[in-house]
Amino acid sequence: MLINCTKMYGHAALIEQNPPTRIIEGAIWLPRSRYRDAKGLYEPSGRVVTESLTFRGFPEPHTPLGRLYTLETGADLPKISRDFHYIHLGHVNRHYGHFLIGAVARLWNLSSGNRSRLRLVFDEDYTVEDMFAVPHIRILWDALGLKEENFVRFPHGAVFESIEVPGLAFEENSHIHRTYQDLMNWLGSVLVPTPVKQCPDRMIYFTKHHLQSGIRRIEQEEELTHHLAAYGVEIVAPENLTLVEQIRLWKEGGVFMGFSGSSLHTGIFHQKNRILSLCHTDEAPSNQVLIDKVTNSRSLYLHDPELLENGHGINGFRASVVCHNPRLLAQRIIQAAKML
């Protein structure tokens, strides 16, 4: 039977205060294209600028993903003057879910107004043009009034006379700041202005069946969606919708269901959602818990030790989940969804 997850992967704290932001003078920028594992933004002393780091809440709380110091002095690196207002952006993961809770979460204090002097310093092997070619990235950058000219790379390194370094408003598997949801809710209102039609009685299942690669493949999901559709559930493949179309779905309402993953993260653009998250173990996914907590959503995190079994990687996926009785699982999902 479907039962509530009794544990959680990581932690899920809601922080009302804003993340810290620092202005660093003489910061040493070591990009991944040249320095690889030694990449990062460092103070003149060589100590990492803490706010520039990415942390995770697992396996230990606030585990840093990056070096804590460098012996580089920056003596041979280009010196970047104050001609522009530089803000550290860092890693811009083009994967939808990681982009939402990564790069976007650094822009919580981005001021409105003239962007002509703004330069966001990002660290990737791809170009600005490549970044804007990704539809969901372009849509959100456009909504924030950001153009290609507002992004810059320094692939050989640099020393900044002055650079602003905002801390992340979302630390994966750890905590979320209220200001992050304020930003995402505002973006949702810009991309899909209210009012929109309301569909509170519908049920939507986000399928991964058509994906060619990913973290986890759901075996027998096509049969599962067939049985869910027979109960009147709308089957949606998020990758076939634009980001605006996805946000509109959430604003229209209903019960949103699916195996835990990026498709359910889109609820961050709206408040008070109803979500049924299917989990492959008895551990609730803390990133989704964080999103649901800050959006005041009603959520169920369920797993079925009888019908769902973890499998090996297959066909472009790191792992798989085998559904042993799709018809029965569909019945159980419908019964659980009626509680929301």
Q: Is the pLDDT reported for residue 320 higher than 80?
A: no
pLDDT given for residue 150 in this prediction: 98
Spacing of C-alpha 228 from chain mean position: 27
Q: In the structure, what pLDDT confidence band is assigned to residue 238 with cuts at 50, 70 and 90?
A: very high
Average pLDDT, integer, range 330-335: 97
pLDDT given for residue 221 in this prediction: 86
pLDDT tens string 111-131 = 888 899 999 999 999 999 999
Average pLDDT, integer, range 229-240: 96
pLDDT tens string 35-76 = 988 999 999 999 999 999 999 999 999 999 999 999 999 999
Average model confidence (pLDDT) across the chain: 94
Q: In the structure, what pLDDT confidence band is assigned to residue 235 with cuts at 50, 70 and 90?
A: very high
Q: Is the pLDDT reported for residue 212 higher than 80?
A: no
